[in-house]
Amino acid sequence: MIKRKLTKTVLAIFITFSMFNNVWAQKDTVHVKKNLLPRPPIYGIPAKTLPKGKAIYRSYFVYTNFTSMYSQKKLSMVDLPTSMKFNSLSYTPKFRYGITNRLTFIANFPLYYKKMDKDTIHKQGLGLGDVQTALLYKFYSNKKKRFLVSGLLYGKLPTGKSSGIVKTELPLGTGSYDVGTAFMPEKEFGRFDVRMSMFYIYRSENSSDVKLGNVQMASLSTAYNFSKKIIAEGTILYKHINANSLNGTVLKDSDGEVTKFIIGAQYRVAQTFLIQAAIPVTLYSKLPFSSDYDIWAGIYYLW
């Protein structure tokens, strides 16, 4: 209950802050050059498509130390037992290519190393996760007002190991084929901008014939250019996962949700090369395993 109230409070402060900066940024545009350097979002997918023939390479590491788990007995998240340690390190290369000025292709190839220890039990997972692809289409753009709206078609392949798991292994994927769509408006106010995304993902049955619950996500992001080299960003992310089902029967307590506040910054080393870092902080969660926060670091390069 406290975390839910905290989530609502932080969200209200975040929206208020965004509205305040909106007004301030509009007044400040007189003193800002019109042609600012690109400022890609740290977390999530940008609404901006790439010019035809241009490409972006991004990659990032994410370290997660799980600190809590869902207890079906208590119907709430509880701390992990002191004898249990569970952490994950992932590295994800991401590629984007401008097919046309309005259409961009996206592909992600996550690599995982997971490790869980509890008393005499030791499990780990190492290898490729589920490959994700998407097509981003810009269907409205007003350059004068610096406002655009894009849509996304998303797909995920079950390339991460999820079946034939032995006692010493951890799964690297969900085992499902996923498809989804997203709606993403974006508005710039000189040095300041606001981004929003609404995402829906349909998930198929996995290798165990369990129909995985569909996913709904929404996020609100703001970013501010302190200078040509330094950009700060904040994001509120909410994710809800519907319950799984087997042969038409809903599996008890298989639904989930999480709310995170993500604070990040990036430094422009060169005009099209940036170093990025972020800390996603968990405000509320109902998941099999959850962390208090993650550590995220990556690079962005446009050519």
The 10s digit of each residue's pLDDT in 70-122 is 998 888 999 999 999 999 999 999 999 999 999 999 999 999 999 999 988 99
Q: Tell me what the mean pLDDT of segment 263-277 comes to.
A: 94
Start-to-end CA span in the chain (Å): 48
Lowest mean per-residue pLDDT among 25-34, 48-57, 82-91, 273-282: 25-34
Average of per-residue pLDDT values in the chain:
88
CA 182, CA 165: separation in Å to the nearest integer? 33
By the 8 A CB rule, do 42 and 266 touch? yes
The 10s digit of each residue's pLDDT in 19-39 is 444 444 444 443 434 443 557
What predicted TM-score, i.e. pTM, was given to this entire model? 0.85
The helix (run of H) or strand (run of E) holding residue 48 is none
CATH architecture for segment(s) 2-302 = Beta Barrel (2.40)
CA 98, CA 299: separation in Å to the nearest integer? 19
At residue 98, the pLDDT reads 96
239 token code pair: 């994710």
